[in-house]
Amino acid sequence: MSELHLSEALETLKEAGIRITPQRHAILEYMIAYMSHPTADEIYKALEDKFPNMSVATVYNNLRVFKDAGLVKELNYGDASSRFDFVTHEHYHIICEDCGKIVDFQYPGLDEIEHCASQVTGFQVSSHRLELYGVCPECVAKAQKISS
């Protein structure tokens, strides 16, 4: 499935007249393979051996290109770093308070909230965002191991 996502993303870039550089290709591959909502710095660290001359700024600039092309969403959760999500359709996130891991989840019933909010307030709702916070299974297991 990830090969299909990659070829569709590359086609989107081509249609937008954006050149496919090896760095762009590698960044897309990373984002599709790991689906981990990485920061530009995390992507840079993952790819620095493959592209020793590539800077964090290059990664960030390419992520902006992908964002403008509609391939990624930029997520801001109050910390200093933007995170980038390859999944651009409406979905929600649960965030581990210990390790920072972000996991996608779907809950279609929440779409009705936009309609309800519009009806109650008269606003023309453009979007909504839901974030849940907790502790991921890995961090729970780690904490239980330490305490026993």
Separation of alpha carbons 138 and 148, rounded Å: 16
pLDDT of residue 111: 76
Structural domains present in the chain: 2-85 (1.10.10.10), 92-147 (3.30.1490.190)
Give the tens place of pLDDT for each residue, 104-135. Answer: 988 877 778 888 999 999 999 988 888 899 99
- For range 53-63, the mean pLDDT: 95
Evaluate whether 33 touches 54 at the Cβ level (below 8 Å): no
- Strand ranges inside the chain, DSSP E: 73-75, 83-85, 92-96, 102-105, 131-134
If one counts every other C-beta atom within 10 angstroms of the C-beta of residue 130, the result is 13
| In the predicted structure, residue 1 carries a pLDDT above the cut 60 | no
Judge whether 136 is annotated as a binding position.
Answer: yes
pLDDT, averaged across the chain? 90
Give the tens place of pLDDT for each residue, 78-109. Answer: 666 789 999 888 888 999 999 888 899 888 77
pLDDT-derived band at 141 (thresholds 50, 70, 90) equals very high
If one counts every other C-beta atom within 10 angstroms of the C-beta of residue 129, the result is 9
| In the predicted structure, residue 62 carries a pLDDT above the cut 90 | yes
| In the predicted structure, residue 14 carries a pLDDT above the cut 80 | yes
Task: Show Cβ contacts of residue 13 under 8 Å, excluding neighbours closer than 6 positions.
Answer: 19, 20, 24, 65, 66, 69, 71
Judge whether 116 is annotated as a binding position.
Answer: no
